[in-house]
Amino acid sequence: MSANKRQFERVNAQLTVRFANGGSVVEAKTRDVSLGGIFITTDRALPYGTVTTFELDLPALPAPAKIEGTVRWSSTDGMGVQFHSLRARETWAINQLSR
For residue 77, the model assigns a pLDDT of 95
For residue 11, the model assigns a pLDDT of 94
SS3 string of 64-95?
CEEEEEEEEEEECCEEEEEECCCCHHHHHHHH
- Is residue 1 in some structural domain? no
- Is residue 35 in some structural domain? yes
pTM: 0.90
Q: Can you give the CATH number for the domain in which 73 is found?
A: 2.40.10.220
- Is residue 2 in some structural domain? no
For residue 1, the model assigns a pLDDT of 44
DSSP notation for 30-42: EEEE-SSEEEEE-
- Is residue 20 in some structural domain? yes
Amino acid at 63: A
Q: Collapsing DSSP states into helix, strand and coil, what is residue 62?
A: coil
> Which residue range forms the structural domain that includes residue 75?
11-96
In whole angstroms, what is the distance from residue 3 CA to residue 75 CA?
Answer: 24
In whole angstroms, what is the distance from residue 36 CA to residue 67 CA?
Answer: 11
For residue 7, the model assigns a pLDDT of 77
- Is residue 33 in some structural domain? yes
Domain count, the chain: 1
For residue 2, the model assigns a pLDDT of 45
- Is residue 3 in some structural domain? no
Q: In which residue ranges of the chain is pLDDT below 50?
A: 1-3
- Is residue 64 in some structural domain? yes
- Is residue 4 in some structural domain? no
